[in-house]
Chains A and B, each alone.
Chain A
Amino acid sequence: MPEIKVDKERCKGCEFCILYCPKKTISLSAGFNTKGYHYPECTDPESCTGCAMCGWICPEVAIEVYK
């Protein structure tokens, strides 16, 4: 099943991935990284199609996509 892997420390909480995930499966986690940003997490893995739009739009290369 497709999934995304988020590098928590590289994320700066810009929320682009959340904005552009076509299935709206990503949202900010409650956790922080060492810089104090909320990093995203996939809250609905079944809906993820592995389209990689989150990866394309992420300015920090913080998301890897597997299919």
Chain B
Amino acid sequence: MEKVFGKPESLSDRPFTYCPGCAHSLVHRLTAEAIDDLGVMPRCIGVASVGCSVFSDLYFNFDFIQAAHGRAPAVATGIKRVKPDCVLFTHQGDGDLASIGTAELIHSANRGEKITIIFVNNAIYGMTGGQMAPTTLIGMKTTTSPLGRQAEVQGYPLRVCELIRELKGVAYLERTAVNNPQNVLKTKRALKKAFQAQLDGLGFSLVEVVSQCPTGWGMLPADSLEWLEKEMGAYFPLGVFKDAKAEEPQEVA
């Protein structure tokens, strides 16, 4: 008998501190699988952000650094410019990337920094207890939109891929999900392509993973997958938004 599936080499043995059913740890494993497949583990440097994934540095077997809230792309920029042959990635939530860190996101993308942003979009602030995030859907109840998010008061959920797809510095941009095995495999493939864009020196890459947050959404893990498919899927269409390697921009279905 041969092991056909197990823990990737780049992932440490540390049990995850996330809630049951959380997507963060799934994305960690897929990141590690992509890194293993590309054979770049020792060259990798991860940048952790502030949020539920603040401890992502514990889960990998290569160098890691923690960034201030929202600043991971800037920190990654500083490291990559000094160590260009290292493979830099950040792991950020929607509060970190699409709220306080929007300027760092847009300008690192616009400069075409050769870094990879792994963006877990679960439409809520998890670590701080379920507050509204820039990607919180209209009508969604959170601890800071108790009556449900109202567009005329709290604006609209932010579509990050659509926001930065026009920036010339962006070489690879895809939105995936991890709510079923097929999407899990697609996310792994997307991460590999994003890292490959960095390795090929083509520019900035970002993979947005539409993610479930059972605790923040107040649902059982299994129910959160269904809700994600229906509600999140409707507002955040999955697909490749940009693939410099494939020359012509991929139209989203």
Q: Do chains A and B touch in the complex (CB under 8 A)?
A: yes
Could you list which residues of chain A lie within 8 angstroms of chain B, going by C-beta atoms? Answer: 2-3, 9-10, 12-16, 19-20, 37, 50, 52-53, 55-57, 59-61, 63-67
Residue B247 at the chain A interface, CB threshold 8 Å: no
Which of B2, B11, B19, B21 is close to A67, meaning CB atoms less than 8 Å apart?
A: B2
Q: Are B16 and A19 in contact (CB under 8 A)?
A: no
A-B contact count, CB below 8 Å? 73
Which residue of chain B has the shortest Cβ distance to A7 in the bound complex? B15
Among A12, A64, A65, find the residue whose CB has the most chain B CB atoms closer than 10 A: A12
Q: Are A10 and B15 in contact (CB under 8 A)?
A: yes
A10 → B minimal CB distance (Å): 5
Report how far A60 CA is from B21 CA in the complex, Å: 8
Which residue of chain B has the shortest Cβ distance to A64 in the bound complex? B6
Report how far A20 CA is from B178 CA in the complex, Å: 12
Report how far A8 CA is from B36 CA in the complex, Å: 25
Name the interface size band of chain B. 20 to 34
Report how far A66 CA is from B3 CA in the complex, Å: 4
Q: Are A14 and B221 in contact (CB under 8 A)?
A: yes
A66 → B minimal CB distance (Å): 4
Q: Are A3 and B1 in contact (CB under 8 A)?
A: yes
Residue B26 at the chain A interface, CB threshold 8 Å: yes
